Structure 1
């Protein structure tokens, strides 16, 4: 999301392309080869900047997995921002993404947000057409519940392979939902219970957006609980010879659901700080994982 310069209508600048190249190279250096986009990021300029780097870097496209999302339409004129998973709209957005990314195929297409007006048969028809034309290899969703995934899958001829959710040591509702069953606190958790289990049972990869929690535990803290968590994260990082960013990502990766963090930063130094999360198995004991969770939630488990 950070590639492409500003969110306004200013055209893509040469400096934006250079910055994108630096971020991509930093990711490749530490072993990251999957790149996640969305058609709305920087109003299309994130994809365009990435596409320019692909065009000028021989052999890069063959070395990476390219993922993008569609389904959100930003506000335009008098029209507010809306969700749009009409079949024709999906096809049009994919064609635009392919042009911006300077590629002939998208490896994974995610439906960005649920659209209450979407007809699953219409959606499935559009996705299968894209697949049969060789424009998209695989499909997934983002920000969807188990029931929504199952409903769409019932109409689709190929398996959904991914669900991208906000998951981090700060956004823990995906984890809290499973342990607050039969407690008074359960009503305060909005995360749809059973979604993690459904994805695991059906081979749907879980991708975590916002996994670094915008630096809450590795930069600026706003509350006593966040400060206590940051101190624990720093202590574990020192003990294990790694970075605080890695500890925060390891907390997700240590979960048996094989969660794949989607690092949102475009800063090369921030990306490189995640090296051990990309190259090493999560080095957290059962007790250390729980200690991080309990410290971040600021209360004992029920």
Structure 2
């Protein structure tokens, strides 16, 4: 088979990863951009979303699509509520101090992880996809001076993976519309620009912080619900999404939503292609080297602005 069909398949796999990674990283970037808080527990909110998706699907029963639909709505709302409670009971009490919030979110990470281990157990459990039709992918080649369409053997994807790509794009457009076109987004941008001035104009900054922390966690949980039919829910699954999300926001620029999305697409596509043609380990090594280069030559990230 020619290289082209393999490249197309690797691109689709990379786009699936990019969609999930973009949702996770946008939540992390949103929290940092508005609150100036580095949330070390962000990966555990991702893990909690996957575990809750399994729990909800088991509780609902019936057709897999019904349980998945309930989980798709319920898990992000529950995780977002937990994040709001954590903000009001923990981060608010340390006055959102950068150093103390890092320590606090590290503690929150271990609390969530160990409580999940106690209640859910150490097993990795899959969630059945609502639909998973295998789709053959066509390719075009030149035969006798004309383009001909054919279906190479083994070149296929699933309808669910294509749905994940579409869902990621829709949600990201929704986040952009919220930030750019709504009153809530205006308030969030005002708090991001100048907290003291926002307080002077009567904006309840602490409530905005709680809302932003909840939205960031809910986005991570939503990404986990989307990916758990492809992978499996496990109490230790939060570490890799956290590291990849930090990689993305560092490359794109801390607090820059467009930069985060672009960096997620770059990392997702490169990871998919390198994993298919070489190895997943090499993909992680290259991503780490890219972060090092960005930190050395452009510390504010590709789309970030240098602080005064």
Structures share fold, TM-score greater than 0.5: no
The structure carrying a bigger strand percent of its residues is: 1
Higher helix share: 2
> What TM-score bracket applies, with the shorter chain setting the length?
under 0.3
